[in-house]
Chains A and B, each alone.
Chain A
Amino acid sequence: MTLAAFALRLLSPAAPPEAPETWRQFRRTCLETLAPVLLVAAMIGSIATLMGHHAFLSLGTQAMIGSYAGLVALRELAPLLTGAMIAAKPGTALTAAIATMRASEQVAALEVMGVDPFRHLLGPRVLALVLAAPPLLVFADVAAILASYVTAVGALGVASSTYMADLTRFTGVRDLLCGMLKVVVFGGLAGLISAYQGYRAAGGPRGVSLAITRGMVRTTLAIVVANYLLSEAFYR
């Protein structure tokens, strides 16, 4: 089955994902992914602020660090890292789960029993990744900006009022909404590619591991390229 055929089968309106299972997977995805997303977002917010401050200073411009951090974090870094973390944690878990079920012929068993694996197994898991992306992004945004604020005001000695004024000057609700659209696309790509790689995995531990590697690399590349295209579309 090609990726396109797989996607069509997944999106087919005749077999929508089962709601209770989707909800269960959604909750699990959010809870599992929250901690690493918060951790990495905070560190990236802090790094971006330090780097930006340093670059602005050494190049002799005014340090408008709040504007810089807000733009970079909300437009690019937070959506990218949320997408990457979805690919890394629930994405690889999805590939592993489907691949082991394929290897032990559990998927075939479902089909024999007349249970549609796309409706009950794959659909809910893929949809859960898409649905989990926006709430995770909210946490990433908050953590990144908070870390940036603490770094700028606490460590670099920027005045709190200056930082807040700079932050709100160039960044607004539109940036947050564009970020939401971005992560929904990233979640969809992560779900689709991870599920596909799991579905067509060869048997055995080696097959599972190969499927995870393929899924992770292809998802990351797809996310980075999609991010580039979406940034060009939104922020021209």
Chain B
Amino acid sequence: MILASVLTTNLAILVLAGFIGFVVISKVPNTLHTPLMSGTNAIHGIVLLGGLLLIGLSGNDTFNKVILVIAIVFGTINIVGGFLVTDRMLEMFKSKPKPKPGEDRDGHGPGGGGS
């Protein structure tokens, strides 16, 4: 009984999270797809938790500890590297000078600057 309820609760979370992922992501403009891919890539670094959880449990022999330390190294690289790289990419967009707010309603074409 109890196991079944843990499983069904987790399955419900799984399905709902899938729908949220679809809804939230489908609105992203093309321009941001690469940073988005990089950002989601960082988020699946959550697997680090798996390594952290298992290494604390009993029943790990030396070989298992080695595997889990490697898993923790991998998970950390995924998280730290992923978020930093995404941040670097996004900073490039952010640091661009924005058009002055008042000028927007003249239409955003560069206008007749030349000649």
Q: Do A and B bind? A: no
Interface residues of A (CB under 8 A from B): none
Interface residues of B (CB under 8 A from A): none
